[in-house]
Amino acid sequence: MQRSLEDAVKDIWGQKVTIQRKQSVSGGDINDAYRLLLSNGDDAFLKINSRAADSFFTAEANGLRAMRETGANVPKVLACGNMEDGAKFLLLSYERGNRRADHEALLGQMLARMHRANTEQFTQCGTFGFYEDNFIGAARQINTPKSGWAEFFRDERLGVQMKMAAPYFDKTDRQLCQRLLDRLPDFLTEPSFPSLLHGDLWSGNVMPDRHGRPMLIDPAVYVGHHEADIAMTELFGGFAPEFYEAYHEIIPPESGYTDRRDIYNLYHLLNHLNLFGGSYLSPVRRILKRYAG
Q: State the catalytic residues.
A: 200
Quote the DSSP letter at residue 126: S
Max intra-chain CA distance, the chain = 66
End-to-end CA separation in angstroms for the chain = 49
Residues paired with residue 136 on neighbouring β-strands, in sequence order = 139
Which among 131, 135, 163 is positioned nearest to 51, based on CA atoms? Answer: 135
Helices (H), the chain: 5-13, 56-69, 103-116, 149-152, 159-164, 171-187, 226-233, 241-250, 257-276, 281-292
Strand partners of residue 90 = 47, 80
For residue 210, the tally of other CB atoms under 10 A from its CB is: 12
- Strand-strand pairing, 134-136 and 195-197: unpaired
CA–CA distances in Å: residue 26 to residues 45, 46, 80, 209: 12, 12, 21, 16
CB 35 within 8 A of CB 22: yes
Residues 6+ apart with CB under 8 A from 45: 25, 33, 34, 35, 36, 75, 91, 92, 93, 94, 95
- Yes or no: say if 237 and 203 are a contact pair by the CB < 8 Å rule: yes
Which residues lie across from 273 on neighbouring strands? none
**Residue 287 near residue 187 (C-beta atoms within 8 A):** no
